[in-house]
Amino acid sequence: MNELTLQAFEHFVGRFGTEVDTRLREARTAEDVEAIRVEYLGRANGKLTDYQKQIPTFSGEERKLAGQQFNAVKKLIEGRLAETLTELSRVTRLSVPDVDLTMPSRSQFRGAEHPVTVVIEEIVEIFREIGFTVATGPEAETEWYNFTALNFPPDHPAMDMHDTMYLAEDVVLRTHTSPVQIRSLQAGPPPIRVVIPGNVYRLDPFDASHAPMFAQIEGLAVDEGISFVDLKATLTHFATRFFGATRTRFRPSYFPFTEPSAEMDVECRLCKGSGCPACKGTGWMEILGSGMVHPNVLDAAGVDSEKYTGWAFGMGPARIALQRYGIPDIRVLYDSEMRFLGQVAR
């Protein structure tokens, strides 16, 4: 290339910017853009690169001006190349969807309440209808509230480390919601009618019928003249309202905080009383323990046991959920399996 005047240099270099702009309007692929880049900016035979070699032929101020003109045009061309690539990429994404639009659409996923939550809400509502209110308390309790005030002797096995989760020397994760009974009795004089839902913790094996953390609901009624007849009538009413027409039975039992004590069973909903693994072949499913509040418990909470009597019960909503939904293994309730939750959604 013959040596140019500065004016001619600026003319030819400036023209390349317009040429590239025109060529890029016709580009349809990234390969087209790359071909244009090589044609004008290629290191070997690029059109603009050839003119870069002429810059040293100028002297003084003209060299500076030629360099400035060259850099400006090169920057302009590089910018237009980048803009075109970006636009082509966007058009490609729009024209080739990420999903197969010919596939049938999926139905909208709807969340669902956990079956144990549903059971708790229904149980609480049944007892609300007959005058009970809801009471709650802390999950970390002192040994006094969790054991001593509930008439547990100091050497009771439940107080050992293998049954109870200790947070400190005198602080435990509550093993039942019964400490709330003591707190309710301390809150004011009878009559008291409360239902107590909450989580409890025990060092139980995680198997088909046990879990180390589970929900529990307890009830407490204290007033003058309350008897075991009131206990049985109330719990039978609950079973009828919750399960519908079903057989129930009460069996003598023992709890430190009630005397006399009884466990309540309902006919197994899975086998209809014929016997199955879930009910251990008995045809019955235990749903709660109950009894008349021990006088020592009333006295510990500051209630006159000579004047007042009461009854209490405690049940596991998880086991009731097993009966309600025909679930053979309690571990299913802890899996967070969305398909299962969708099946039992109300």
**DSSP string for 297-320:** HHHHTT--TTT-EEEEEEE-HHHH
Class of domain 115-344: alpha beta
Q: How far apart are CA 193 and CA 148, in angstroms?
A: 22
Nearest to 253 by CA among 292, 290, 279, 294: 290
> Tokens 């400036």 belong to which residue?
14
Dihedral in degrees, nearest 10, Cα atoms 95, 99, 101, 104: -170
Q: How far apart are CA 216 and CA 178, in angstroms?
A: 10
pLDDT of residue 1: 45
Tokens, residue 207: 């198997």
The total of other beta-carbon atoms located within 10 Å of residue 312's CB is 26
Domain residue ranges of the chain, discontinuous segments joined by +: 6-95, 115-344
DSSP state of 216: E
pLDDT of residue 138: 95
Instruction: Give alpha helix (H) positions in 96-202.
Output: 115-129, 143-146, 179-187
Using a 10 angstrom Cβ sphere, with 0-12 exposed, 13-18 middle and 19 or more buried, the burial of residue 22 is exposed
List per-residue pLDDT tens for the chain, 346 residues long: 445 676 766 666 677 778 888 888 888 888 888 888 888 888 777 777 777 777 788 888 888 887 887 788 888 888 888 888 888 777 665 555 555 666 666 666 666 788 888 899 999 999 999 999 999 999 999 999 999 999 998 887 766 655 888 998 889 999 999 999 999 999 999 999 999 999 999 887 787 667 888 899 999 999 999 999 999 999 999 999 988 878 889 999 999 999 999 999 988 877 877 888 767 788 888 889 999 999 999 999 999 999 999 999 999 888 788 777 777 777 878 777 777 777 766 6
Q: How far apart are CA 145 and CA 142, in angstroms?
A: 6
Q: Find out whether 299 and 97 touch, Cβ atoms under 8 Å.
A: no
Calculate helix-pair angle for 30-41, 6-25, nearest 10 degrees: 170
Q: How far apart are CA 55 and CA 66, in angstroms?
A: 6
Burial 48-70 (b: 16+ CB within 10 A, else e): beebbebbeebeeeeeeebeebb
The total of other beta-carbon atoms located within 10 Å of residue 259's CB is 15
According to DSSP, the β-strands at 192-201 and 133-134 are parallel
Q: How far apart are CA 194 and CA 203, in angstroms?
A: 27
Q: How far apart are CA 176 and CA 216, in angstroms?
A: 7
263: amino acid identity, one letter = E
Nearest to 244 by CA among 269, 221, 227, 222: 269
Q: How far apart are CA 119 and CA 290, in angstroms?
A: 19
